[in-house]
Structure 1
Amino acid sequence: MDAYDEWKDSDEELEAEEEATGFTFKPSYVLLAIDVEESMFDNKLNRSPFLECLDACYEVANSLVMADKTSVKGPFGVVFAENDEVKANFIEFEQSVPDTVKVFQDLKRKSNTDLKTKFQRKGNFDLGDFFLFCKKKLLKINADVYKRTVIFITNEDDPIQNDPKKRFKIISESQKFPGIQMDLHVVTFKKDFDYDNLYSEVLSACNSPPVEKIDNLTTLTDKLTSLVQTRYRKMKNKFYPFKDNTDSYIEIIINKFFKKADIQNNMYVTKDTQKEVKKSKKQVDYTENYKCIYAKSEEPLIFNELEKERLPETNIPIGYSLLYVGEETSKFGWIIKSPVLMEKHHKETEPIFDCFWQFCKEKSKCLVCYQKSRKGGSVNLVELVPRFINNIRMFVVRVLPFGTEILFPNMPKGELKFEPEEELAMSNLVNALTFDYHPNNFRDPIFSKKKAYIKSQLLEEPQEQVNDGLPSDAELDEKIIMEIKELRSLQLDDVTTTTKRTQGAVAKRGGAGSRKKLKKFDEDEDD
């Protein structure tokens, strides 16, 4: 039985199903090499570069605590720029992520003076030998690796001190990086870093990008996060190009980069106190009957559990069945499910996939297909839009909505006219309420509480308080108080609102009696 026969719905796929497809995830391993010469501990700007490196490592490690469901080992290691291997080794690749987080938590509590006393390098340093040490450390990983990367963080732009032998050795070692499929990145906190002294030649020899300047913690954290490859789903499926012909198909690969946040565990806790409780699993009773009532005057239809499971089954095969070639219909904001990427299977010999892709690309067309993910599963209409991604021909698979799934707002007829100062005041209010998007702004509070509880158990620390990621009402009030005062000073709703409410009330009630009551109400209000 192949993988597509048991492929769950896109929101219910299990991690174990990846093994049946024959595709294994290849992680990226990142070795962070931190220079420990004197300038890395300079805290003239309140925080030293060494502390910034520790904070960035903590943020990355903390984000990886629950990133992998199958392993607790981290995809990155940390070494210090020392020629003594005992002093150089700090965080091993085999070390668990929770233990790594605890190490960085302890270091963050220490003062810069204590860190300088403990870690600052004393004596001579050979960068060529250190590059060789980093390469050996990454090559010791006994796994199928997608990419190996060394990130060297330093403020020292002249580590050779005009020694031609050291210069030759460093460049010779850097030239070997591409041959062993290893990347080298050099990062610095120093604003006046001299690229031309050594590193321009070193990075040119190994086809690496130029030295990157880092000015804050966020930039360094983003740099590390982008290089740590996270797991994504890669599954085999079938594409049927001919109608009602399930014997002819193309082998394809579906890459899914988005997945539903879930926690697969066998422990249940109470909602309020997070106290562990036992939960019994309901057993499926195939003899149980279900009633389907269409009308009270008619006898109900009786189904058992097995018949109920077979009811949704259709004659559409599992995979993607081509319906027609047409114009792209999906529009901005039409997202029913997260899109996936479709590419040709590497063992597929027929050129049909490439022909479809080339035709759609040249004619600005797309393929409209039926999508069926599993046996008895729902059938979706999807469109396949051609894209060229990472030098590979792929289709972006988008689920098309039905008519009832897209609701357009009712736009008022006519145009509202405002004075320039009124438009400016409203624009200022909108700008004050605008914020930059971050994934933490919108998150599931229930899932966040579960994740916080499990992390507290792994790290053996108190459970962190989880909020919704948005500012409080008090913070918003303080942020927009001036804009609200400006709007109120313009008195936009004094005349129009009173007139509309008065006319609406009279029209609704009708008759002179209503007008008399309204007049009496106005007189009382004047008094």
Structure 2
Amino acid sequence: MASIWNPEVDVCLTDSDDEDVDEGGRDWKSGRECMLFVLDANLYADEERFVQALEMIRNAFVSGLLMNDKDLMGLMLANTEHSPDPYEPGCLEHIVVPQNCAVFLPLHQLTKYIVEHLLHFLATASDKFGEEYGYVSRGTSYASMLRLCLNLFDNASYECNSAKIVYLTDIECPHTSDSQEFQMALQKANDLEGRAMEFHVIPMKDDFNYDLFYKEFLCLVKAIDIESFQPADPQQLRELLSNRKLKQDYSRRTLGHFKFSLGANLEISAQYYNFFKKRLYPRKIRALRKNNAIVRSKNVITVSKRDEATSEIIEEYEVKSTGGWYQLYTGEKTIKITPEQILRVKNMHAPGMMLLGFKPSSTLDNFVPHKPSNFMYPDDQTIIGSKRLFRALWQRCRARNKIAVCLFLRKKRSIPRYVALVPVSTEDNEGSDMQDLLSRDGFKIIYLPMGKHIRHINFNDWNIENNESPPEGVELFQKIIKKLRINYQPAVINDPGLEQLQARILALALDIQTDNDGLTVMPSTEKQDERIASILPKIEEIFGKDVEVAKKRAATGTAEETASKKAKINEDDLKKYEYVQQLIRNEALITCTNAQLRTILSTHFEVTPAKSTTKPDLIEKIKNLSN
């Protein structure tokens, strides 16, 4: 049965989770990410495109040095007239560089000196590139260029968990369709697919035609159906590369495969991935302080028998984990639970996902995000026809605005979790200012919270007396917060603190001055004011006008001049009882003079205090009478 699901997004979003290992048993965190840039020298004919391509490569190398210098990055050139030696000539001893190709920087761990050498080359490339490298129109065999890329990856001295070739060009077809080089290039695409290597072509012009060559080539690399190929937006690809987002792009690794049970004798095969890329941090290890030896923990269960008279140990021996038990005391009885019984309880459900029912999408408005979301995708390898049924379920959920509630057990002996499958699509973000450039079609797995994840807070009782708010005031500000709230998307929102730190590092290490504002993609303040414009009048109705407390002024001049100064409080406002109550709540009675405090007592409480009453006593009397 043929697949119907769009294969253009048939691979996942990001790397594996920190706590997951792929089916082959390999921990993908042990390797490094390798990215090889291939610059088409024909771009030198168009100065604007050539400079833009160099700027994107520069940003990728600089961000790689700042974010994760353990990754391997390199730069080579295709269609060059000359082939100068690279930065490290000895690195190509066992590699034959084909004609009209040049290796500027082999795959290498980034250091300050390598990046400085690259920046110097990029700064002078506009003037010296023609003399040092030159360019020839379609002079390089595409298959030979790809073979050189594979040799550079094989010659890398580190294990790579992902390999990416990024080709920047504006030539739509490297060879004519009836030439032998054309067929050799397509055959080399099969080699890339067999080695699970990613290939990204970055068009340097917006009207790039994929149909001439790259449509078939990319389908062979990704092993997808050519009929469902959808060309990417060149402008969007250039934007992704400028921010080095390609390392978050498709990967052929998944967090796991499972069976999705839709009912009696009805299952489909599916797989799940990370919804967003997670930062890779080094593993935590414990080492002895004396000799730096790694501490390895081992659980040992020891059973001992003691003498009742002397309390000395008579007999002691170790018990295996399978031979132990858990002992519980329930009143006068003792219950022993063996590890086998606990494992049977843990394995009550088989690994997989089971459909429980459907709910309206509005029921997810108040969920608690206690665990990062995942992304679900069909897989026809285990059960043929899974993609067809998966697409039908996805379309019906979108048409009826429903979510699927399921029970999910991702692997053996793990905790079963209730999840919500939310259908997501690239169409949902079209035209939005906060468009996520990495979103794809499929189901977003949201882990629903349990009772222990939810904190019950009564927002009407948490206020103290000095900050008291009526229930309608709390509801009003909850509406304001919802109006101003935006969805956090790591692909487009930057950390302002991290931006400032990176700018200082660049200025110190590489003498690069940058002007980063941080959250440059946040909504403008004008749009925020428009959203809450209809709610602002209700604030004065509920809370009244804000009282501006007079600031204390420094004493200047004589004591008589200082004593003649009065607080900036209108006498007419003191005749309004609501205004007096506002002064009491804001603890602003201290700004009133003794005469004004006496006016408040006589006007609103019909009390005439003695002339010897001090100001603190007058304030206390007003507070007591107002309660």
Bin the TM-score by the shorter chain: 0.5 to 0.7
Instruction: Check if 1:375 corresponds to 2:424.
Output: no
In the TM superposition, what is the alpha-carbon distance from 1:371 to its structure 2 partner?
A: 0.8
Provide the residue aligned with 2:256 in structure 1. Answer: 235
Structure 2 letter corresponding to 1:398: I
The TM-score, its normalising length taken from structure 1, stands at 0.54
| Counterpart contact for 2:328–2:335, Cα < 8 Å | yes
Provide the residue aligned with 1:413 in structure 2. Answer: 470
In the TM superposition, what is the alpha-carbon distance from 1:112 to its structure 2 partner?
A: 8.3
Instruction: Check if 1:277 corresponds to 2:277.
Output: no
In the TM superposition, what is the alpha-carbon distance from 1:233 to its structure 2 partner?
A: 2.4
Report the aligned-residue RMSD: 6.0
Instruction: Check if 1:31 corresponds to 2:55.
Output: no
Provide the residue aligned with 1:340 in structure 2. Answer: 374
| Structure 2 CA distance for partners of 1:264 and 1:212, relative to 1, 3 Å | closer
Give, in whole Å, the separation in 2 of the partners of 1:266 and 1:283.
17
Structure 2 letter corresponding to 1:278: A
Instruction: Check if 1:362 corresponds to 2:379.
Output: no
383, 391, 394: which one aligns with 2:442: 394
| Counterpart contact for 1:150–1:184, Cα < 8 Å | yes
Provide the residue aligned with 2:542 in structure 1. Answer: none
State percent identity of aligned pairs.
12
Instruction: Check if 1:151 corresponds to 2:172.
Output: no
Give, in whole Å, the separation in 2 of the partners of 1:91 and 1:84.
15
| Counterpart contact for 1:233–1:257, Cα < 8 Å | no
Provide the residue aligned with 1:56 in structure 2. Answer: 60
Instruction: Check if 1:250 corresponds to 2:268.
Output: yes
Give, in whole Å, the separation in 2 of the partners of 1:317 and 1:442.
45
Give, in whole Å, the separation in 2 of the partners of 1:498 and 1:406.
38
Count of residues in Structure 1 that have an aligned counterpart in Structure 2 = 395
Provide the residue aligned with 2:23 in structure 1. Answer: 17
| Structure 2 CA distance for partners of 1:378 and 1:303, relative to 1, 3 Å | same
The 3-state SS of whatever aligns with 1:282 is coil
Give, in whole Å, the separation in 1 of the partners of 2:617 and 2:202.
79
| Counterpart contact for 1:242–1:322, Cα < 8 Å | yes
Residues 256-293 of structure 1: per-residue CA shift (max 9 Å, x gap): 344665646485469xxx99933422212326665556
Give, in whole Å, the separation in 2 of the partners of 1:369 and 1:123.
62
Give, in whole Å, the separation in 2 of the partners of 1:353 and 1:171.
35
Give, in whole Å, the separation in 2 of the partners of 1:82 and 1:134.
13
Provide the residue aligned with 2:97 in structure 1. Answer: none
| Structure 2 CA distance for partners of 1:228 and 1:152, relative to 1, 3 Å | farther
Give, in whole Å, the separation in 1 of the partners of 2:440 and 2:327.
51
Structure 1 letter corresponding to 2:419: V
Provide the residue aligned with 1:79 in structure 2. Answer: 77
Give, in whole Å, the separation in 1 of the partners of 2:17 and 2:166.
33
The 3-state SS of whatever aligns with 2:348 is coil
| Structure 2 CA distance for partners of 1:355 and 1:14, relative to 1, 3 Å | closer
Provide the residue aligned with 1:482 in structure 2. Answer: none
Structure 2 letter corresponding to 1:380: R
| Structure 2 CA distance for partners of 1:29 and 1:309, relative to 1, 3 Å | same
Give, in whole Å, the separation in 2 of the partners of 1:238 and 1:409.
41
Structure 2 letter corresponding to 1:318: P
Give, in whole Å, the separation in 2 of the partners of 1:112 and 1:149.
17
Provide the residue aligned with 1:91 in structure 2. Answer: 105
In the TM superposition, what is the alpha-carbon distance from 1:84 to its structure 2 partner?
A: 1.4
Structure 2 letter corresponding to 1:86: P
In the TM superposition, what is the alpha-carbon distance from 1:237 to its structure 2 partner?
A: 0.6
Give, in whole Å, the separation in 2 of the partners of 1:368 and 1:171.
46
Residues 290-349 of structure 1: per-residue CA shift (max 9 Å, x gap): 55567xx66665556x35852751522211112223323322664232222223222322
Give, in whole Å, the separation in 2 of the partners of 1:11 and 1:124.
43
Give, in whole Å, the separation in 2 of the partners of 1:323 and 1:29.
43
Instruction: Compare 282-291 and 203-212 and name the one that shifted more.
Output: 203-212
| Structure 2 CA distance for partners of 1:16 and 1:111, relative to 1, 3 Å | closer
In the TM superposition, what is the alpha-carbon distance from 1:522 to its structure 2 partner?
A: 0.8
In the TM superposition, what is the alpha-carbon distance from 1:409 to its structure 2 partner?
A: 6.5
Provide the residue aligned with 2:527 in structure 1. Answer: none
Structure 2 letter corresponding to 1:310: L
| Structure 2 CA distance for partners of 1:62 and 1:28, relative to 1, 3 Å | same
Provide the residue aligned with 2:202 in structure 1. Answer: 185
| Counterpart contact for 2:367–2:448, Cα < 8 Å | no
Provide the residue aligned with 1:452 in structure 2. Answer: none
Structure 2 letter corresponding to 1:150: Y
The 3-state SS of whatever aligns with 2:364 is coil
Give, in whole Å, the separation in 1 of the partners of 2:439 and 2:233.
23
| Counterpart contact for 1:313–1:377, Cα < 8 Å | yes
Provide the residue aligned with 1:190 in structure 2. Answer: none
| Counterpart contact for 2:254–2:271, Cα < 8 Å | no
116, 131, 139: which one aligns with 1:106: 116
Structure 1 letter corresponding to 2:268: I
The 3-state SS of whatever aligns with 1:173 is coil
Q: How does 1:95-244 map to 2 (within 5 A)?
A: 95-96=107-108, 98=109, 100-107=110-117, 115=124, 120-122=129-131, 125-129=134-138, 132=140, 136-142=144-150, 149-152=166-169, 173=174, 180=186, 184-187=201-204, 222=242, 224-226=244-246, 229=249, 231=251, 233-242=254-263
| Structure 2 CA distance for partners of 1:373 and 1:183, relative to 1, 3 Å | closer
Residues 94-130 of structure 1: per-residue CA shift (max 9 Å, x gap): x23x1x44553332685988x5699533189444245
The 3-state SS of whatever aligns with 2:23 is helix
Provide the residue aligned with 2:357 in structure 1. Answer: 324
Give, in whole Å, the separation in 2 of the partners of 1:201 and 1:250.
38
| Structure 2 CA distance for partners of 1:229 and 1:112, relative to 1, 3 Å | closer
Task: Give 5+ residue unaligned stretches, structure 1.
Answer: 1-9, 42-46, 67-71, 154-169, 188-194, 418-422, 449-460, 462-468, 472-486, 504-514
| Structure 2 CA distance for partners of 1:502 and 1:388, relative to 1, 3 Å | closer
| Structure 2 CA distance for partners of 1:491 and 1:312, relative to 1, 3 Å | farther
| Structure 2 CA distance for partners of 1:60 and 1:335, relative to 1, 3 Å | same
In the TM superposition, what is the alpha-carbon distance from 1:253 to its structure 2 partner?
A: 2.0
Give, in whole Å, the separation in 2 of the partners of 1:38 and 1:11.
44
| Counterpart contact for 1:366–1:385, Cα < 8 Å | yes
Give, in whole Å, the separation in 2 of the partners of 1:133 and 1:31.
17
In the TM superposition, what is the alpha-carbon distance from 1:212 to its structure 2 partner?
A: 5.8
| Counterpart contact for 1:237–1:251, Cα < 8 Å | yes
Structure 2 letter corresponding to 1:173: P
Give, in whole Å, the separation in 2 of the partners of 1:341 and 1:73.
28
Structure 1 letter corresponding to 2:470: K
Give, in whole Å, the separation in 1 of the partners of 2:497 and 2:348.
40
Structure 2 letter corresponding to 1:33: L
The 3-state SS of whatever aligns with 1:397 is strand
Structure 2 letter corresponding to 1:343: Y
